[in-house]
């Protein structure tokens, strides 16, 4: 039986930007229903990097992906958003009163506006080209860190040369029995301060750095004993491979929205797409000067909400108010006078 829900705003994507959009829309009395293919809110932050530190969220010197998600969920509690999780938004249709989004499981959500906050679309990790790697995946080969304690007192090898590889090498080194970073060359795409910190740890003999390519995984029954880097065997109980992600738009590409290099062009006045009533915020959109930062997505959500209000309440005049000066807004947020 088809499950149908009615709301004001349908948000495709429950990552940080989608969650903050609930707050901005909620301030304007706009009800939200979020759809996400993952089984929990938080998007890539919660799924791939729940314990990775994030440093560029205003007023939070450092916060983990999961902590950021938890705080955003707490922030939107007063607005009682609805969630459809573990399902993919598969089809968008125009209706008499707005839009209908249908998921792969047959769930229908109807609303006045649609906000696409799907990050880069669906994502899968790029894997090392090693024949028997599937045997070890989930047991001793991993593509993300969900619980740091899982790697305590282990012989760890981290493969990659980007921010994720360097960040986790630095963060796991204090708890690892041994840690080796493997990269094909002595040049990195990571932040310079992270590269410098890694070299400091190597010079202090607190971790190793090996230049080369992964060739073989050695062990049995999914349990690693060592890995072969070129011709050298390196002791290894856990391999963390950070070769980046492969992004796919999936069904979003079939929504009838203009695309440019697998991104959705928007105007920067209100982040509306070429289709009236459909908006795009976060990493999935494109405009000149775009920066793929969470804080940029937060800014986009705020401006989007102003235009969305006109679709949800076409006969009302929007009066902008600061949350610090509006008694009505403070009541919604549970602020005591």
Three-state SS across 292-319? Answer: CCHHHHHHHHHHHHHHHHHHHCCCCCCC
In this predicted structure, the answer to whether residue 171 has a pLDDT above a threshold of 80 is: yes
Q: What's the pLDDT score for residue 322?
A: 72
- Whole-prediction pTM value? 0.70
Q: What's the pLDDT score for residue 126?
A: 84
* Residue range 223-228: mean pLDDT, rounded: 96
Calpha distance 323→332 (Å, rounded):
10
Q: Let me know: does 78 contact 48? Beta carbons within 8 Å.
A: no
In this predicted structure, the answer to whether residue 331 has a pLDDT above a threshold of 90 is: no
* Residue range 104-124: mean pLDDT, rounded: 86
Residue 49, judged by CB atoms within 10 A of its CB (0-12, 13-18, 19+), counts as buried
Confidence of residue 325 (pLDDT cuts 50, 70, 90): low
| Mean pLDDT for all residues in the chain | 90
Q: What share of the chain is helix, strand, coil (3-state, %, to 5)?
A: 25, 30, 45
Calpha distance 254→235 (Å, rounded):
47
Q: What's the pLDDT score for residue 234?
A: 95
Q: What's the pLDDT score for residue 67?
A: 94
User: What DSSP element (H or E) covers 250?
Assistant: none
* Residue range 77-101: mean pLDDT, rounded: 93
* Residue range 217-228: mean pLDDT, rounded: 95
> Looking only at Cα atoms, what is the longest distance across the chain?
72
Confidence of residue 329 (pLDDT cuts 50, 70, 90): low
Q: What is the pLDDT of residues 235-261, one digit of tens each?
A: 999 999 998 776 666 667 677 788 888
For 50-77, b where at least 16 C-beta lie within 10 A, e where not — what string?
bbbebeebeeeeebbbbbbbbebbeebe
Sorted by where each starts, the structural domains of the chain and their CATH numbers stand as 4-123+246-332 (3.50.50.60), 127-243 (3.50.50.60)
Beta strand 264-265 with 285-286 is parallel
Confidence of residue 100 (pLDDT cuts 50, 70, 90): very high
Q: What's the pLDDT score for residue 71?
A: 96
Confidence of residue 121 (pLDDT cuts 50, 70, 90): low
Q: What's the pLDDT score for residue 210?
A: 96
Confidence of residue 3 (pLDDT cuts 50, 70, 90): confident
Calpha distance 212→228 (Å, rounded):
10
Q: What's the pLDDT score for residue 147?
A: 84
Confidence of residue 201 (pLDDT cuts 50, 70, 90): very high
Indicate the length of the chain as a whole number: 337
Angle between the 65-76 and 16-26 helix axes, to the nearest 10 degrees?
20
Q: What's the pLDDT score for residue 327?
A: 61
């Amino acid at each position: 039986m088809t499950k149908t829900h009615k709301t004001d705003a349908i948000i495709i994507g429950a990552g940080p930007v989608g969650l903050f959009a609930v707050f901005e829309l909620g301030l304007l009395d706009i009800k939200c229903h979020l759809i996400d293919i993952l089984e929990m809110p938080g998007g890539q932050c919660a799924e791939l990097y729940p314990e990775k530190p994030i440093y560029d969220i205003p007023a939070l010197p450092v916060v983990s992906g999961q902590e950021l998600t938890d705080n955003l969920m707490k922030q939107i509690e007063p607005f009682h958003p609805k969630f459809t999780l573990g399902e993919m938004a598969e089809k968008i249709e125009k209706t008499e009163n707005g839009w209908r989004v249908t998921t792969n499981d047959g769930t229908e959500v109807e609303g006045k506006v649609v906000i696409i906050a799907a990050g880069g679309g669906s994502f899968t990790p790029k894997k090392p080209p090693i024949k028997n790697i599937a045997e070890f995946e989930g047991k001793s080969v991993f593509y993300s860190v969900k619980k740091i304690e899982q790697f305590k007192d282990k012989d760890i090898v981290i493969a990659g040369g980007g921010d994720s590889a360097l960040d986790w090498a630095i963060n796991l080194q204090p708890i690892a029995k041994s840690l080796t970073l493997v990269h094909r060359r002595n040049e990195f795409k990571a932040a310079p301060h992270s590269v410098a910190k890694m070299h400091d740890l190597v010079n202090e003999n607190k971790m190793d750095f090996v230049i080369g390519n992964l060739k073989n995984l050695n062990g049995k029954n999914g349990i690693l004993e060592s890995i072969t880097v070129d011709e050298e065997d390196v002791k290894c109980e856990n391999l963390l491979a950070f070769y980046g992600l492969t992004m796919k738009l999936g069904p979003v590409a079939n929504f009838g929205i203009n695309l440019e290099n697998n991104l959705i062009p928007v105007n920067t006045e209100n982040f509306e797409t070429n289709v009236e009533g459909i908006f795009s915020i976060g990493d999935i959109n494109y405009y000149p000067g775009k920066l793929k930062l969470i804080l940029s997505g937060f800014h986009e959500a705020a401006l989007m909400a102003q235009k969305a209000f006109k679709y949800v309440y076409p006969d009302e005049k929007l009066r902008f108010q600061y949350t610090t000066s509006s008694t009505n807004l403070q009541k919604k947020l549970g602020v005591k006078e």
